A and B are shown apart, each in its own frame.
Chain A
């Protein structure tokens, strides 16, 4: 049973546009929601993370929006750049072992110049 569903599978955005990736989770015990960015040939790297006590977190051009009642969270990339082209993974974990994460299947983002 997949506990974190991510969409879309792939996304093409023009330079300067907004990229939006969505995730939905099932387990209400999850309380830590990170997003990871992965470039080809590299391991995933933490981009931004949120806990359910806030509805939004912003770091530079990257924003997480969190809807606890709907059990959904999303990543917004403002002013998308070609250098943002990568695979993005959402994840969810519990505070009892936040490193044991359940990952979404990933979204391949392509930002066209």
Chain B
């Protein structure tokens, strides 16, 4: 158990809809990262928050947004969903913004299916 909790584990929705994925990082971790894992593209970095502030952006679509709340949990909002958004969405946390080990602790993911 990594200590990172993601909900929901599975989500099925229709094109055009909006969903919110939730992540609770390991106790004490200030950094939260969101990754997308699809069959044909592996793990892709989407966005990072550190202590409530956005710190790095990757290949995140404009239809997607995220935030980190004062209690350090994070939410990833996906809107105007398309079939191609179907994927596993992982949240990871780490103790530091980037130094020391850089080890990421991943949750078990939220599997999104867009029909």
Contact = CB atoms under 8 A, between A and B. Distances in A.
Whether chain B is bound by chain A comes out as yes
A96 B106 contact: no
A45 B42 contact: no
A43 B4 contact: yes
Interface stretch (A62-70, A76-84, A101-109): A101-109
B8 interface: no
Chain B interface residue bracket vs A: 20 to 34
A102 B46 CA distance: 11
A89 B43 CA distance: 9
B2 A43 contact: yes
Nearest to B104: A99
Q: Describe A's contact surface by its main secondary structure.
A: strand
Interface residues of A, number: 26
Interface in B79-98: 90, 92, 94, 96-98
Given A44-B106, A45-B106, A98 B99 contact: yes
Most buried by A among B90, B97, B102, B103: B102
Contacts of B96: 99
Nearest to B102: A98
B33 A100 contact: yes
B29 to A, nearest CB: 10
A43 B111 CA distance: 11
A36 B44 CA distance: 14
Given A45-B106, A95-B98, A97-B97, 17 more contacts: A43-B106, A43-B108, A44-B90, A44-B106, A91-B43, A95-B99, A97-B55, A98-B94, A98-B99, A99-B31, A99-B96, A99-B98, A100-B48, A100-B58, A101-B102, A103-B42, A105-B42
9 contacts: A43-B107, A97-B55, A97-B97, A98-B101, A100-B48, A101-B102, A103-B35, A104-B42, A105-B41
Interface of B: 2, 4, 31, 33, 35, 41-45, 48, 55-56, 58, 90, 92, 94, 96-109
Interface of A: 32, 34, 36, 41-46, 49, 89, 91, 93-106
